[in-house]
Structure 1
C-alpha cells in the first residue's frame, strides 16, 4: 500500500494515472527555519548522521519489488475500488452519527492512544543479572533524547556540530555555538503553502538530514500540517525548497537514515449537523445527519492538499474490525533531497499510538477516545478509554516505502508508544486491563508468522488493580512501573520471547513516569512522590540499582517541592543524561498560574544523588526548555526567548 508520487498531489483514482499537482508559488517566505555554520562541508557531515535501515530475516520481510498488498489478510485489506473505499467510510460513519452529530455531538480525537539475542532454555536458571543488560543507549547526536537508537525524532531544537537550530513562534532561528557565547546567525519565517503564517505553541518541530532541515508545523485548530524543506547550503541565508500544507494533524515525525516519515491523523469530517428541535426533533435531526454522512466524498475522509486527496485509494487499507476509531492514519515518507517525491500508506482508522523501530512501523488501533488533542507531537497524554482488544498493524520500512506486512491483536489497552518495542523480530507490548482481561497488567511478545502477528509469550499479574505509569525496554529486559498507592517496579526477562518471566519487583511510595538507563546497573526515574494512601505530593527523582534484577533496589531519591511536576513525565525530551560527567539534567516546574521552571542538576556519585536547582523560565515557555549536549562538551540551554550555555558545575 505504498505508492510513490512525484510533485505529489494525487487524487484517488482506481482506473487512471493521477494528474499533476496544482502549481504552487515557487518563492515561499518561510517563518521558521534558519541555519548556520561556518563551512558547508562541515554542516553536511554533521547533519548527515543517520541509521541504515536493516531488515529482519523473518517471514514478514518484503522482497524488493513485491506488490505493496501482497501480504494483506482479513484484518486489513484494500477496497476493490474508490467507490467501495468511500462506502466503507460512509457505512461506519452512519453507525456513529446521531441527532447531535458524531458521538452525540462531541467530536472525537484519539488523543490518548487506544491519545525508538540469545535464547536459553526456559527452564535454565541464571545468576542474577547475568546476560540481562540495561545499557541499551538512546542518545542521539541531534541533541534529542529519543526512544529508539537510530530513529531520530522531531523536536523544537536540533544541533549539528557548531550549528544549533530552534523553533520559536513559527520562526526557525540558527545559532553558531562555537564561540564564547551563542551567536544568532539568521531567522527564517515559515508560512504554510498558501502564504499564511504558522502560529501556535510551540509553533513547529524540525529534523536535520543531508544538509537540509524539515520543519513540521500544525495549525492552531489541529486540522492542517505544513511540511517545509529548507536548504542549508548557506546557513546564513537558508532557502525554502518546498512547502506543502496537508489537511491532517501530524502526531509523529521520524527520521530513518535520509528518509523522513510524518504520521498524519485525519479525524471525522466536520459536517453541518442538525440538532433536535420540536416533538420529532431527534428523529429528524438524526435522519438529516445521516444524509450528510452519505453525501461525503473521499476528500472528507482522506488527507488532502488544496481540497483534493493526495492518497490513492489503493494506498488505503481498511480494517476488518469496525470497532476501531473511524478516520485515517497516513504515513508520508520522502527524502529531503527530493521533497516533492512522496510515498503514502494509509489505514482507515484514527490512532496516534504509533511506534517506529529501525525497520518497522507499528500502529495500535484502540477504541475511540472522546476529548481533545495536544499540540506537542510526542507528548504523553495518557491512555484512552479501555476497550476489550487492541488491533496491531505492522509495516516494513525500506527506503521511502512503508509496506503492510502483518497484523494481529492483544487483549487489553496500550497506553502510548513507550508501551511498544521491537528487537530481533519480536514485538513486545505492555498492556493494561480491559473488559477482556483480568484486573492486572501484562507484557506480551508477538512474532510475525506470514501475514499474522501471533502471540509468542506473556507475563501476567503485573500490578493488580494498578495502572502502568512507565515502561523501559532493553534488548532482553523490560522494566515496568505501575501505581495505585505504591510504586511496584517489575523486572521482566525477555531473553526468550516465547517464555518471558518475572525476575523481581520493588514496591515503594510514589511512581516513575519516565525511566532512563544510566549504564548497565542504574536507572533513574522521574515522576511523583506519594504517601502510603497514594496521594501525590510533588515531583521526585528516584535512583534504582538493577545489578541484581531479582532484587531491584531504590538507592536514593530527590524530592522536590510540593505540587511540583517533572517535565520528562510528559515529554522525555526535557531529560538529558551526560554520561561522562555522571550528571542528569531535567526540567521541574511548579504552579498552574505563575508557573516557574527550574533545571534540576542531578550529580551521581557512588550510588547517591545531589541536586542543584537553577531557575530558568516562567509561564508556558517552561514546556520549551531544552538542555542540549554539544560536540564541544558544553551544554546549550534553550528557553522560550534565549539560547545560552548552561554551567553544569554552578
Structure 2
C-alpha cells in the first residue's frame, strides 16, 4: 500500500517563478482556511485586488456578450463536456528501437491497476467500474454496488444508495456519475442532468458488506474530469455564463428595452453566479482565482478541486476565469487549453464531445502539481485548434500538442513541442503539413514518438520522431481507406486502430479494427483488417474504456454497437496471431446500457464483464 500523504489547506496559486501579482486572501469558502499571499508567474494571468475587483472583471467582460436576446444576442446556450482517448499497454510492452528511429519508444499509457484504461501511467481516471484486489465496485442507477470477485462467480456484497447533501438523489438518469478508489474509500462524482451541480460522495468500503457514506457535498458547478495521483483526488469543475432571467424584445423599442434590462441583470450578478458554490457560498477564495489578460477567450470559470478521501472536507482549490473542457494531467503538471467550451451534450465525463470554439490561437496555462497544491508556473499559446486532452502530452519537460487548422494556420495539421522558459511556454519545434485539408482523428503519444491519424477520404497514419523536441521529424506515413479513432499499442512492433471503414471516396460504412506494423517507422504497414457490419460503431472511438488489451493472451476486447434506437452491443474478441486477427462476436447488451459495458481484467487472469444489470466472468475462449 502506498504511503498516504497528509493534506493541508494551502493556497492554490502559490509563489511561482518571476515577479508577479501578490495579494492577500479573503477567507470564507466552505471547508477552507485563510490562504497566504499568492504570486502569479507572468502577466498572462492576473489576480484581482479584492472580491469586488474580481466580480467587476467578470461583469465587464460579460457586458460585451449580452444583447436584447440574452447571451450572444441570440440566446445561445453552451452545452456538453468530454474528451476522448485512452490506452492500455502492459508493463514490458515497450516498443523496440530500430536503427535511424527514436531511441525510446515507450508508451506511458496503460491499464491502471484499478482496471481502467488510462492516459498516463500513475494517473488513474474515474470510471463506472473499479477493482482493488478481490473487490469490485460499480455504479448503477444511483447505487454503489460492491462485489467479491475471488470465487467461481462474482458475489454481491452490498448496495449503497447515493444521495446528495440535500437528501435527494443526484444520480437518477445521470450520464456522468463515475468513481475512483483510494485505500478502501470510493470517491463518486456525478453531475446533475442539467449540468448545474455536481455531487462528490465519499464512501467508506473498509467493510464492503456494510459501506458507509462519509461525506456528500453538492457543488454548484459541472464536472468534466476526475483524476487520482498519489492518493490525491482532483476534480475539474466548470461554471459557464450564468443562467439569468433575460428579457426578449416585444413591441416598439423592444430591442432597446430588452438590451438595457439584460445588461442590468448582468451588472446585478454576484460571485456566486460565476464561481462554484457550496450551500450558496463561493467554494474558491477570490485571491485564488486567476484572471486571464486575454479577454477574447471563453468567459466562465474552470476550477481544480483537490481532496483527500481520508478527510474529504479538507479541500484545496485553484481557479482561472475561463471555461474550457480541454485539460490534461501528467504526474506533475496540469495544463489548461483555453479553447472555448464544447457544443453538444457529451455521453460521459471523459468521452469525446462536440467541437470546441476557437479564435485561431489557443492560450495555454500550466500548473505544477505537488501533493494537493497546484502552482501556476507558465503560460503561452499555440496557433490552431486543440481537439481534446488526447491531443496533449508531456514528458521530460516537453509539452507536445497535435493541433488542427484555424484562421491563424494553413489548411493542415501540426505536431508542436513547447518548453518552459522561465514563466513562458515557448515553441521548441514543430512538424507541419500533416493531412492537408483533413481532420485529426486520433493521436498516440510515446516518449519519443507521435502517431497521428487524419481523415477526409483516406486514412493517413503519420509517424513523427520526437526524440529531439526542438527538431521533430516526420519519419513516414501510410494511406489507406477508412480511419482509426482510437490507437492502441500491442507490444513491441504492433498497433491496433479502432475506427470506421470507408470507401475510397470517403463514405463511412461501418466499424473496423486495423492492425499495423510499426517496426519500421519510415514504412508503417497495415497487416490485417476486421470489418464489422454496416452501420456499426466502435465503442472505443468515443470512450476508450470500452477497450481492453490482454498482453499475455494476445487478445483485444472491445465493444461494438449498432443502432441509435434499438441499440445492440457486442464484445468483439480479437485474437492476434502472426500478424493476423481472428474475430468472435458476443452479444452482451441492448439499449442505453451499452455505453456502460466494461471488461475489467483481474490479477487472477479472469476478466469481468459488467453490463447494465449483471457482473459476470467473461470467457475469452468462448
Determine if the TM-score, normalized by the shorter chain, exceeds 0.5: yes
Name the structure 2 match of 1:254.
227
Deviation at 1:284, TM superposition (A): 1.1
Contact 1:92 1:322 in 2 (8 A): yes
Name the structure 2 match of 1:362.
335
Contact 1:383 1:414 in 2 (8 A): no
Distance in 1 of aligned mates of 2:117 and 2:30: 40
Contact 2:48 2:286 in 1 (8 A): yes
Distance in 2 of aligned mates of 1:367 and 1:587: 31
Name the structure 1 match of 2:92.
none
Out of 124, 131, 140, the residue aligned to residue 159 of structure 1 is 131
Name the structure 1 match of 2:28.
18
Deviation at 1:373, TM superposition (A): 3.0
Name the structure 2 match of 1:105.
75
Name the structure 2 match of 1:447.
419
Distance in 1 of aligned mates of 2:450 and 2:317: 33
Which segments of 5 or more consecutive residues in structure 1 lack a partner in the other structure? 23-65, 117-124
Is the aligned partner of 1:607 residue 2:579? Answer: yes
Contact 1:365 1:392 in 2 (8 A): yes
Distance in 2 of aligned mates of 1:4 and 1:297: 29
Name the structure 1 match of 2:450.
478
Distance in 1 of aligned mates of 2:179 and 2:224: 13
Is the aligned partner of 1:619 residue 2:591? Answer: yes
Name the structure 1 match of 2:441.
469
Name the structure 2 match of 1:150.
122
Superposed CA RMSD in Å reads 2.2
Is the aligned partner of 1:85 residue 2:57? Answer: no
Which segments of 5 or more consecutive residues in structure 2 lack a partner in the other structure? 1-6, 13-22, 87-96
- Secondary structure of the structure 1 residue equivalent to 2:59: helix
TM-score by length of 1: 0.88
Is the aligned partner of 1:540 residue 2:550? Answer: no
Distance 1:69 1:169, change over 3 A: same
- Secondary structure of the structure 2 residue equivalent to 1:158: strand
Distance in 2 of aligned mates of 1:632 and 1:580: 12
Is the aligned partner of 1:243 residue 2:213? Answer: no
Name the structure 1 match of 2:326.
353
Distance 1:452 1:109, change over 3 A: farther
Out of 217, 223, 230, the residue aligned to residue 190 of structure 2 is 217
Distance 1:141 1:91, change over 3 A: same
Distance 1:598 1:375, change over 3 A: closer
Contact 2:570 2:587 in 1 (8 A): yes
Out of 398, 407, 427, the residue aligned to residue 399 of structure 2 is 427
Contact 1:382 1:415 in 2 (8 A): no
Distance in 1 of aligned mates of 2:175 and 2:456: 33
Name the structure 2 match of 1:561.
533
Deviation at 1:203, TM superposition (A): 5.8
Out of 151, 159, 181, the residue aligned to residue 187 of structure 1 is 159
Deviation at 1:14, TM superposition (A): 5.9
Name the structure 1 match of 2:206.
233
Name the structure 2 match of 1:96.
65
Distance in 1 of aligned mates of 2:350 and 2:462: 25
Contact 1:207 1:214 in 2 (8 A): yes
Deviation at 1:131, TM superposition (A): 1.7
Distance 1:367 1:258, change over 3 A: closer
Deviation at 1:196, TM superposition (A): 0.5
Name the structure 2 match of 1:575.
547
Distance in 1 of aligned mates of 2:8 and 2:169: 29
Is the aligned partner of 1:177 residue 2:186? Answer: no
Distance 1:383 1:112, change over 3 A: farther
Deviation at 1:74, TM superposition (A): 1.2
Deviation at 1:16, TM superposition (A): 5.1
Name the structure 1 match of 2:561.
589
Out of 588, 608, 611, the residue aligned to residue 639 of structure 1 is 611
TM-score by length of 2: 0.92
Contact 1:170 1:203 in 2 (8 A): no
Distance 1:547 1:560, change over 3 A: same
Distance in 2 of aligned mates of 1:163 and 1:112: 29
